[in-house]
Amino acid sequence: MDKSVLYWSAFVRAKGVYMRKIVGIAVSGLFLSAGAALAEGPRVYAYPGENFCPTGLQPVTISGVISCGTPNQKVSYSAMKATPGS
């Protein structure tokens, strides 16, 4: 077998090993960053409306659904969705 073919096959195998390591590291980074975002839990916004909730709770929105609870965001949902400068 020609030496150039041997060198090329060794290069391709080494390149594959490095690519698997790089892709593995990139995927791990994505999972770690997604895990931190998911650990916060859902975003619960205060709802600016009349309060018919039990004592200690207030109207909140979770994914567009209005219910009673305690907000974990400092702004209301409508203020967060508003266009800057308007």
User: pLDDT tens digits for 65-83?
Assistant: 899 999 998 988 888 888 7
| pTM of the model as a whole | 0.50
- CA nearest 75: which of 33, 47, 41, 34? 47
CB 48 within 8 A of CB 78: yes
DSSP 76: B
Q: Give, in order, the Cα–Cα distances in Å from 57 to each of 7, 45, 63, 67, 72.
A: 71, 13, 18, 10, 12
pLDDT tens string 5-63: 666 566 656 565 666 666 666 666 666 666 655 567 888 999 988 999 999 999 999 88
What does the pLDDT read at residue 56? 93
What does the pLDDT read at residue 4? 63
